[in-house]
């Protein structure tokens, strides 16, 4: 969807702000650009949007070189939310949100309908706020309107530069949570800038960690924490990265998405052979719709003919969005070392084993031991 190929930006004064950065963000993915102040995050966003010209390299959107796309057209297809620039002070909230739809020539009715819808989406009452001016809003409300404006014309791509930067910590967490919910509904390709490791791990499908204009590691949150590529990454994510991982990494990153399964009416000898073949001690049991029923455990195989006779139904489940610490605490309280991961209607999406968590954590311990 978005591909940077050896992108370099040298400012006229000679500052090398971005240095041969290559990375690819897939459709519907949320990529976080992370790194210390001055490492080149904002510059990277600006060259993608062509607010500033690139010095070397190429940027592709859906395979098209962006220098071949009309600049205005490009920007209308990219929603841009930035912390510093903010809203137009002389326009109402409603007018601010309608800026790009107006440029795109949407009819008035459609525009104002869209503005109402977006305000509600970011958790603001449209009747109350539509005709207010930015100066009449709190910092948190202004940032919400900023996000709504970026979403204005339903662009396929969103660039968000520290969108929750100026907000107090409590409101910030709420906005992050709301944005994650919105993101599941809107399914955009998003590049999200932050200098905050917690925010990065929470928001990102993938994280691009930058330092001094270079891309240091481009990876999933769990790999960044548990398999840091070098000392810079290790220091940046912090010495407590095992703990951060437990608090912040979501179950979906470590779960097995296609585990071996059993059906309730299968014979125990059949599933026993399957467990041996797969090298596991238990199998998740599902019905014909793929809904989770319980576990069949190797220790109980002598106690019945069919899986139904020996199934263990009284076990906890978690969702793929739960964090590892929640999963771990469910395992500990149920005394069962494997957790079924289910969706809203109890369909099995995967399984998470205690061993998978332990393995991730032991990599952290090993690295520390070898230092």
Ligand X SMILES: Nc1ncnc2c1ncn2[C@@H]1O[C@H](COP(=O)(O)OP(=O)(O)O)[C@@H](O)[C@H]1O
350 binds, among ligand X, Mg ion, none (CB under 5 to 8 A by kind): none
Nearest residue to 284 (alpha-carbon basis) of 335, 342, 326, 356: 342
SS3 57: strand
The two three-digit tokens of residue 229, written as one number = 């590529």
125 binds, among ligand X, Mg ion, none (CB under 5 to 8 A by kind): none
The two three-digit tokens of residue 365, written as one number = 């311990």
Quote the least distance from Cβ 346 to ligand X, whole Å.
44
Nearest residue to 295 (alpha-carbon basis) of 356, 344, 341, 242: 341
The two three-digit tokens of residue 135, written as one number = 């100066």
| CA dist., res. 196 & res. 164, Å (int) | 11
Displacement of CA 284 from its chain's centroid (Å)? 28
The two three-digit tokens of residue 264, written as one number = 């309730």
15 binds, among Mg ion, ligand X, none (CB under 5 to 8 A by kind): ligand X
Q: Which of 6, 15, 67, 270 touches ligand X (CB under 6 A)?
A: 15
260 binds, among ligand X, Mg ion, none (CB under 5 to 8 A by kind): none
Residues contacting residue 155 through CB under 8 Å, at least 6 positions apart: 76, 77, 78, 79, 100, 188
Residue 49 touching Mg ion (CB under 5 A):
no
Our CB check for ligand X shows the closer of 211 and 317 to be 211
Nearest residue to 241 (alpha-carbon basis) of 198, 195, 202: 198
| CA dist., res. 203 & res. 34, Å (int) | 11
Our CB check for ligand X shows the closer of 12 and 89 to be 12
Residue 82 touching ligand X (CB under 6 A):
no
13 binds, among ligand X, Mg ion, none (CB under 5 to 8 A by kind): ligand X
Our CB check for ligand X shows the closer of 13 and 70 to be 13
Q: Which of residues 37-76 bind ligand X (CB under 6 A)?
A: 37-43
- Tokens 């041996």 sit on residue: 276
- Torsion on CA atoms 81, 85, 91, 96, rounded to nearest 10: -10
Our CB check for ligand X shows the closer of 35 and 163 to be 35
Residue 92 touching Mg ion (CB under 5 A):
no
Our CB check for ligand X shows the closer of 189 and 211 to be 211
Q: Which of 19, 42, 189, 211 touches Mg ion (CB under 5 A)?
A: 42
Residue 123 touching ligand X (CB under 6 A):
no
Phi-psi label, residue 293: left if phi above 0, alpha if psi -120 to 50, beta otherwise: alpha
111 binds, among ligand X, Mg ion, none (CB under 5 to 8 A by kind): none
Q: Which of residues 18-37 bind ligand X (CB under 6 A)?
A: 35, 37
Quote the least distance from Cβ 215 to Mg ion, whole Å.
16
Stretch that binds ligand X, among 12-20, 223-231, 232-240, 250-258 (CB under 6 A): 12-20
Quote the least distance from Cβ 17 to ligand X, whole Å.
3
96 binds, among ligand X, Mg ion, none (CB under 5 to 8 A by kind): none
* Strands of the sheet with 206-211, listed across from one edge: 78-82, 157-161, 189-194, 30-34, 206-211, 214-219
Quote the least distance from Cβ 15 to ligand X, whole Å.
4
| CA dist., res. 248 & res. 225, Å (int) | 10
Positions of E strands within 229-299: 261-263, 282-286, 292-297
Sign of CA dihedral 226, 19, 198, 118: negative
Stretch that binds Mg ion, among 40-48, 143-151, 229-237, 245-253 (CB under 5 A): 40-48
Our CB check for ligand X shows the closer of 13 and 371 to be 13
Catalog residues that contact ligand X under the rule CB under 6 A. 11, 13, 15, 17, 35, 37-43
Catalog residues that contact Mg ion under the rule CB under 5 A. 41-42
């Amino acid at each position: 969807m978005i591909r940077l190929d050896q992108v370099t930006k040298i400012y006229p004064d000679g500052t090398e702000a971005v240095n041969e950065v290559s990375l690819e963000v897939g459709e519907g993915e949320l990529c976080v650009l992370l790194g210390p102040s001055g490492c080149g995050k904002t510059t990277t966003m600006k060259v993608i949007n062509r607010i500033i010209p690139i010095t070397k390299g190429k940027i592709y959107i859906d395979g098209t070189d962006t220098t071949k796309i009309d600049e205005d057209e490009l920007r209308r297809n990219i929603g841009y939310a930035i912390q510093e620039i903010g809203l137009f002070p002389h326009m109402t909230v409603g007018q601010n949100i309608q800026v790009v739809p107006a440029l795109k020539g949407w009819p008035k009715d459609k525009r104002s309908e869209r503005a109402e819808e977006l305000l509600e989406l970011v958790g603001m009452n449209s009747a109350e706020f539509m005709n207010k001016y930015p100066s009449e809003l709190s910092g948190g409300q202004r940032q919400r309107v900023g996000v709504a404006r970026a979403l204005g014309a339903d662009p396929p791509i969103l660039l968000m530069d520290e969108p929750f930067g100026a907000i107090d910590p409590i409101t910030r967490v709420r906005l992050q949570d709301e944005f994650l919910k919105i993101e599941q509904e809107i399914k955009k390709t998003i590049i999200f800038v932050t200098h905050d490791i917690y925010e990065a791990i929470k928001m990102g499908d993938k994280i691009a960690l930058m330092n001094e204009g270079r891309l240091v590691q481009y990876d999933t949150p769990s790999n960044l924490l548990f398999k840091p590529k070098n000392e810079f990454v290790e220091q940046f994510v912090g010495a407590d990265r095992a703990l951060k991982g437990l608090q912040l990494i979501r179950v979906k990153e470590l779960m097995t998405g296609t585990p071996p399964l059993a059906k309730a009416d299968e014979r125990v000898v059949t599933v026993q052979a399957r467990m041996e073949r797969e090298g596991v001690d238990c199998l998740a049991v599902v019905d014909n719709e793929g809904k989770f029923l319980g576990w069949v455990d190797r220790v109980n195989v002598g106690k019945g003919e069919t899986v139904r006779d020996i199934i263990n139904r009284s076990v906890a489940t978690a969702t793929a969005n739960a964090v590892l610490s929640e999963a771990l605490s469910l395992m500990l309280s149920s005394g069962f070392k494997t957790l079924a991961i289910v969706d809203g209607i109890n369909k099995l999406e995967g399984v998470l084993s205690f061993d998978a968590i332990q393995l991730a954590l032991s990599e952290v311990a090993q690295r520390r031991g070898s230092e």
